[in-house]
Amino acid sequence: MKLYKFIPYDKELVYRARELRKSETEAERLFWSKILKNKKLIDLKFTRQKPIGNFIVDFYCAKLKLAIEIDGEIHKFQKTRDDERDNLLKQKFGLRILRYKNEDVLNNTKFILDDFIERINKYNPS
């Protein structure tokens, strides 16, 4: 696996990522505002709708090489595709991938928060 100082991405995806930031789902908005932007919980920088390679991930932390996906209903029907995408991002760029379901973010926010903090502490022991 090649080590990248900066992860390359398809420049054509920049406009699409910008549009996705403007039309985020309720679950993405909640995850961003209540968890990722809360510096009292985590002192890490995340970006939204980050182009990586030929894909756009919902959230990305460069320090941890961590991509987070908030999966809506459509993902129930494309698990194989999501698995292939995750494997490619892991193998090609060395990323960690976390996936949470929309309904869990919206209805079990405390559980998602606890799980996320536990994983972040494993990835970032400092």
- Indicate the length of the chain as a whole number: 126
How far is the CA of 22 from the CAs of 14, 16, 18, 50, in angstroms? 13, 10, 7, 13
Percent of the chain predicted with pLDDT > 90: 59
- Residue 126, token pair as written in the block: 């400092």
Cβ(54)–Cβ(82) below 8 Å: no
Q: From CA 19, how far away is CA 59, in angstroms rounded?
A: 14
Those residues of the chain that have pLDDT short of 70 are: 1-5, 73-77, 125-126
The pLDDT tens digits for 107-123 are 999 999 999 999 999 98
User: What pLDDT was estimated at residue 79?
Assistant: 76
Q: From CA 77, how far away is CA 35, in angstroms rounded?
A: 27
Q: Which amino acid is at 97?
A: I
What the chain holds in terms of domains, given with CATH numbers, is 13-121 (3.40.960.10)
